[in-house]
A = this chain, B = another copy of it.
Amino acid sequence: MASIRGRDDLLLGIGDDCAQVQVPTGQSLVFSMDTLVEGRHFPYDADPVDIGYRAVATCVSDLAAMGAKPAFFTLALTLPHSDPQWLAGLAQGMAELAEPIGLILVGGDTTKGPLTISLQVHGYVEHDQTPCRANAQVGDDIYVTGCLGDAAAAVAIVTGQTQVSSERFDYFYERFWRPSPRLIAGMALKRVVNAMMDISDGLAQDIQHILTASKVGANLDASRIPISYELRQWQPEQALNLALTGGDDYELCFTAEPSQAAEIALITQTLGLPCIKVGEVTTSGFTIQGYDGDVSGWQHF
């Protein structure tokens, strides 16, 4: 990719058997690997620029959940055939997200086969400032950033199953293909949260990972789940269900002591990022007041 810039921490980049990195003193390395499969995570005929952007965005969202600063990524690309134009589009989309956040490609592999994209993103965080999932405390407030459900609603538009007005198309197309990983929010919030994660498979399913890891319960209030004006207008009946189980929005969910409420409001308002309390951590169980639907989200199998 032409867009790659040098970094002081990079001793060897692409071209050797391994890349080599000198992790800055006092920092630890965090990393996450994600795979996108054609026909499963994106349509067969999707724009490679969109695919590239979204692939990096969804993976970077895991760094945001750890409050980490992005550093470098690797790319394992399986392609049915060599197509320089498609590859240039993919690289452009990746660079559109990666460049502004200082994330550079340092290695990977290219193989022939069904179109599959695996990325590993790497970032840095102070050793003792990582908001893990196992640290939610009984009595914590539960927060969600942004709006939920738009990306799931967009699938029918992105796959061409639904015809909508061009304005609605633009809004939802963008919401599916161009998620905004909450990196700055994650870095700013890590000092005041107890547990944090990103929402990729639907809030109702994802939050249970925090509850299981922390051995606690939760009570959510359906009326507080943040849903965009656009989604309420378009699909008033389905909006809440999509927001709770749809996934793909890549917003943050976190828990924090009630005493941190003012600090959280200050951080998120400074960033212009909507952030709302949607429930509390309890001793056990999981309930959503005002919602009696299914709470399972995206099923991987």
Contact = CB atoms under 8 A, between A and B. Distances in A.
Contacts of A65: 16-18
A66 B20 contact: yes
A34 B213 contact: no
Residue of A34, A36, A78, A79 ringed by the most chain B CB atoms within 10 A: A78
Interface in A109-152: 109-114, 116, 118, 120, 123, 125, 127, 130, 132-134
A32 interface: yes
A5 interface: no
B18 A30 contact: yes
Given A112-B300, A198-B17, A300-B110, A28 B37 contact: no
A20 B130 contact: yes
Interface size range on A against B: 35 or more
Contacts of A153: none
The residue among A19, A22, A33, A35 with the most chain B CB atoms within 10 A of its own CB is A33
Contact of A33 (B12, B23, B107, B209): B107
A108 interface: yes
* Interface majority SS (helix, strand, loop, mixed), chain A: strand
Kindly report how many copies of this chain are found in the complex they form together: 2
B19 A127 contact: no
B76 A37 contact: no
Contacts of A28: 11, 20-23
Contact of A17 (B19, B66, B110): B66
Contacts of A22: 28-29, 127
A20 B16 contact: no
A274 to B, nearest CB: 21
A68 interface: yes
Nearest to A29: B21
Contact of A213 (B15, B38, B114, B123): B15
B41 A111 contact: yes
A74 B33 contact: yes
A38 B78 CA distance: 11
A162 to B, nearest CB: 24
A31 interface: yes
A62 interface: yes
Nearest to A111: B35
A181 to B, nearest CB: 11
A35 B76 contact: yes
